[in-house]
Amino acid sequence: MQTQAHIPAHPAVPVQVDDPFRGLDVRKFGMWTFLGSECLIFGSLITTALLYRGKHDPGLGPHDVLNIPFTALLAFILLLSSLTMVLALAAIQRGDRRRLQLWLLATAGLGTCFLGGQAYEFSKIVHEGVTLSSSLFGASFFTLTGFHGTHVFIGVLWLLSCVARSLTGGFNERNYIGVEIAGLYWHFVDVVWVVIFTLVYLLAPTG
């Protein structure tokens, strides 16, 4: 009886599927996800502030209590801090830890200056009679700017922790993801303030 030759089965060739997230650090992806949720929160707060900016005490409007030139200076300080943050990341990518520490401290210092300026602005506005409970404008304004100031404060602490970590050799030219993620957060905080300054301060009603 004739027997059929056994033909070995060829192993299945795995199908290559393109992964859009290949090469993306999970920590960086997590930060982008977090910033996306923060956009929703800040968007709702900014919208509320815009809706209530005309609901102020009679005879006392936003332009009567908001110091636009001073707040423009605060916006410039935060924009300058974004530049120093970029220089910090570029430094560690070259393996220069000393300049990384220098630029991180400069960024944290500019953030601290912003917080000091915001505290001064708050005290002046409260002195004018605008508080959380004085009007809808006051409640929405202090909630929005205070929430943003809290983010700046957290960012300053984060930057200082990066400085402390760099002193122990925690970052180098091959391992700088921690600095990069901190930079993403800091740039987000800066961009949010530009939006707040433009919509809440510059576009505030004059009447």
Highest mean pLDDT among 13-17, 69-73, 108-112: 108-112
Q: What angle do CA 75, 129, 134 make, to 5 degrees?
A: 100
Res. 194: pLDDT tops 90: yes
Given a contact cutoff of 8 angstroms between Cβ atoms, the answer to whether 144 and 200 are in contact is yes
Look at residue 117 in the predicted model and tell me its pLDDT: 96
**pLDDT digits 0-9 by tens, 130-166:** 888 877 878 888 999 999 999 999 999 999 999 999 9
- Residue with token string 């970052």: 171
Q: Does domain 28-53+60-202 have CATH number 1.20.120.80?
A: yes
- Residue with token string 């960086």: 28
Domain layout of the chain by residue ranges: 28-53+60-202
The overall average pLDDT reported for the chain is 84
Task: Give 146-149's long-range contacts (Cβ < 8 A, gap of 24+).
Answer: 147/41, 147/42, 147/45, 148/42, 148/189, 148/192, 148/193, 148/196, 149/115, 149/118
- Residue with token string 């005309």: 54
The alpha carbon of 64 is separated from its chain's Cα centroid by a whole number of angstroms, namely 29
Taking the C-alpha atoms of residue 115 and residue 183, their distance in angstroms, rounded to an integer, is 18
Per-residue pLDDT, averaged over 73-79, amounts to: 94
Look at residue 17 in the predicted model and tell me its pLDDT: 47
Look at residue 39 in the predicted model and tell me its pLDDT: 94
Given a contact cutoff of 8 angstroms between Cβ atoms, the answer to whether 196 and 144 are in contact is yes
Look at residue 1 in the predicted model and tell me its pLDDT: 46
**What percent of the chain is modeled with pLDDT above 90?**
57
Look at residue 202 in the predicted model and tell me its pLDDT: 83
- Higher-confidence residue of 9 and 67: namely 67
Q: Which residues on adjacent β-strands are paired with residue 174? A: none
Q: How many CA atoms within 13 Å lie on the side-chain side of 144? A: 28
User: What Cα–Cα distance (Å) separates residue 176 from each residue in 20, 23, 87, 105, 184?
Assistant: 22, 15, 13, 17, 13
Residue by residue, DSSP assigns 162-191 as HHHHHHTT--BTTB-HHHHHHHHHHHHHHH
Q: Which of 54, 61, 62, 80 is nearest to 145 (CA)?
A: 62
Res. 13: pLDDT tops 70: no
- Residue with token string 């433009």: 198
Assign 41 a pLDDT band (cuts: 50, 70, 90).
very high
Given a contact cutoff of 8 angstroms between Cβ atoms, the answer to whether 67 and 197 are in contact is no
Assign 75 a pLDDT band (cuts: 50, 70, 90).
very high
Which residue type sits at 167? L
Per-residue pLDDT, averaged over 114-118, amounts to: 96
